[in-house]
């Protein structure tokens, strides 16, 4: 997701200085247990580091559960994957990890099932689509923590100059609007299409979903060169790219460029996530947000993205982890994190509160679509490698749909076989 620090509570030091006082089950005083949490940092500077959030939560948890201490490490997104791999390799896994993916840990048989470490009430409070996205072979291991989604952004001022009264709901309407914008608002980018390596898998999946396609078929097998997906890229090539209605080379254009162009008033239309709301406000852009146009009408779903909690079996602290996670997933705590970092909820109670409290009107289109979100094949242990291949070469499908998608399919089949 759009993403920093190391902190160890004093109990760890105390334990190291007085080993005789530590229980066999973990660090801490006799009769107590310390669980280790490693979490990604969502702040962009020290003043808004996630460290502050977790300090507050763990202090409140320990006050309510005096026998359990939580040792927290907050790590920036650039380093967390490598640090966690080293922890696992050295036999020093955390008890709880919050980061971007879980499938590789499931493949290593490292994790508790979600049902082992969440109460029935907490499980039921998770949005169904997100719970399913946390499953591997029908069993949930990944526990959604925060989410994001995609919706369609348009520049109202550019639309007015082009004589367009309302946003498009279909691909053909989008193309017609793009033609008008090119003719009547010279110098603007009618549709900002980012298929560069930063996040080409997201833009690709959004367009393919709009044509009844996607990365997998109904059985869960990769279907990167399905007839629907080839047709999607053929349409984009013939109707948007070749007529000059988007970037000259979408395969080399990243999302950050498209977002910056929209915030600068240069781009008329694009698919974006909630962070673009604040970017647009800060830049004084008169914008609108609406469901993403599909081939025959607006998408009834959207691309969903989540970051995940997971619980490791290595240290055997299942009961303590369960108490901690039930505390973390209270409405008060999840809402605080979501609102602090402008993220979307993964629980029914937080979604209801954010939908009805009048504080999040700008997020209404995202919140409405969130329960029906569609996800990458996150439970497939080959997905990270396949996603990397799509980022590297998938944008080239805009020039050669069948050839590039066919090559990607062969690579995905090979990666999955291994």
Per-residue model confidence (pLDDT) at position 363: 87
Question: For residues 332 and 350, what is the distance between their CA atoms, to the nearest angstrom?
Answer: 8
Per-residue model confidence (pLDDT) at position 27: 42
State the burial class of residue 230 (Cβ atoms within 10 Å of its Cβ: 0-12, 13-18, 19+). Answer: buried
Q: For residue 321, what are the CA distances in angstroms to 39, 105, 111?
A: 14, 17, 12
Lowest-confidence range among 12-26, 179-193, 330-344, 370-384?
Answer: 12-26
Per-residue model confidence (pLDDT) at position 10: 36
pLDDT band (50, 70, 90) for residue 111: very high
Percent of all residues in the chain with a pLDDT value above 90, rounded to a whole number: 78
For every residue of 100-130, DSSP letters joined together read S--HHHHHTT-B--HHHHS-HHHHHHB-HHH
| Average of per-residue pLDDT across 328-352 | 94
H helix or E strand, kind and range, residue 322: helix 318-328
Lowest-confidence range among 6-10, 116-120, 127-131?
Answer: 6-10
pLDDT band (50, 70, 90) for residue 89: very high
pLDDT tens-place string over residues 45-59: 888 899 999 999 999
Per-residue model confidence (pLDDT) at position 47: 84
pLDDT band (50, 70, 90) for residue 342: confident
- Report which DSSP code applies to 314: T
CA-based R_g, the chain, Å: 23
pLDDT band (50, 70, 90) for residue 15: very low
> Is pLDDT of 163 > 60?
yes
Per-residue model confidence (pLDDT) at position 2: 43
**Which phi and psi (to 5°) does residue 84 adopt?**
-65, -40
Per-residue model confidence (pLDDT) at position 1: 53
> Is pLDDT of 19 > 60?
no
Mean pLDDT of the chain: 91
Per-residue model confidence (pLDDT) at position 31: 60
Strand-pair partners of 149: 304
Secondary structure of the chain: what % helix, strand, coil (to 5)?
50, 15, 35
Supply the pTM of this predicted model: 0.82
> Is pLDDT of 21 > 60?
no
Closest CA to 19 of 30, 32, 34: 30
pLDDT tens-place string over residues 264-314: 999 999 999 988 998 999 999 999 999 999 999 999 888 999 999 999 999
| Average of per-residue pLDDT across 240-265 | 97
**Which phi and psi (to 5°) does residue 214 adopt?**
150, -170
Per-residue model confidence (pLDDT) at position 11: 37
* Dihedral angle of Cα 141, 307, 303, 136, to the nearest 10 degrees: -10
pLDDT band (50, 70, 90) for residue 101: confident
pLDDT band (50, 70, 90) for residue 199: confident
User: Strands 287-290, 96-99: parallel, antiparallel or unpaired by DSSP?
Assistant: unpaired
Per-residue model confidence (pLDDT) at position 192: 98
> Is pLDDT of 60 > 70?
yes
> Is pLDDT of 160 > 70?
yes
Closest CA to 110 of 122, 101, 123, 120: 101
Per-residue model confidence (pLDDT) at position 40: 94
């Amino acid at each position: 997701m759009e993403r920093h620090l190391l902190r160890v509570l004093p109990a760890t030091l105390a334990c190291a200085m007085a080993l005789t006082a530590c229980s066999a089950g973990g660090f801490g005083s006799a009769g107590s247990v310390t669980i280790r949490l490693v979490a990604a940092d969502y702040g962009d500077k020290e003043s808004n580091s996630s460290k502050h959030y977790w300090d507050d939560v763990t202090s409140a948890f320990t006050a309510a559960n005096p026998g359990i201490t939580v040792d927290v490490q907050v790590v920036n997104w650039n380093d967390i994957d490598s640090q966690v791999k080293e922890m696992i390799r050295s036999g020093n896994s955390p008890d709880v990890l919050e980061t971007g993916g879980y499938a590789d840990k499931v493949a290593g048989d490292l994790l508790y099932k979600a049902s082992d470490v969440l109460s029935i009430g907490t499980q039921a409070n998770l949005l169904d689509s997100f719970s399913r996205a946390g499953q591997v072979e029908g069993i949930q291991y990944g526990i959604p923590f925060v989410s994001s989604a995609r919706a369609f952004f348009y520049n109202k001022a550019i639309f007015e100059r082009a004589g367009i009264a309302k946003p498009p709901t279909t691909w053909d309407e989008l193309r017609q609007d793009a033609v008008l914008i090119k003719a009547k608002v010279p110098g603007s980018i009618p549709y900002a299409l980012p298929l560069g390596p930063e996040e080409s898998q997201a833009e690709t999946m959004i367009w393919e979903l709009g044509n009844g396609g996607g990365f997998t078929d109904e059985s869960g097998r990769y279907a990167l060169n399905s007839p629907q997906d080839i047709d999607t890229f053929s349409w984009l090539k013939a109707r948007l790219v070749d007529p000059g209605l988007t970037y000259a080379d979408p395969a080399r254009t990243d999302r950050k460029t498209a977002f910056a162009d929209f915030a600068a008033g240069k781009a008329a239309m694009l698919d974006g996530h909630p962070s673009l709301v604040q970017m647009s406000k800060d830049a004084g852009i008169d914008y609108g947000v609406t469901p993403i146009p599909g081939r025959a009408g607006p998408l009834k779903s959207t691309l969903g993205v989540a970051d995940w909690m997971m619980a490791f079996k290595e240290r055997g602290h299942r009961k303590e982890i369960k108490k901690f996670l039930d505390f973390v997933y209270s409405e008060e705590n999840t809402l605080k994190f979501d609102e602090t970092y402008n993220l979307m909820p993964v629980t029914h109670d937080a979604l209801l509160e954010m939908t009805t409290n009048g504080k999040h009107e700008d997020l209404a289109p995202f919140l409405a679509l969130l329960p029906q979100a569609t996800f990458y094949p996150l439970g497939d242990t080959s997905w990270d490698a396949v996603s990397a291949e799509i980022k590297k070469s998938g944008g080239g499908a805009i020039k050669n749909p069948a050839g590039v998608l066919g090559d990607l399919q062969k690579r995905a089949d090979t990666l999955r076989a291994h």
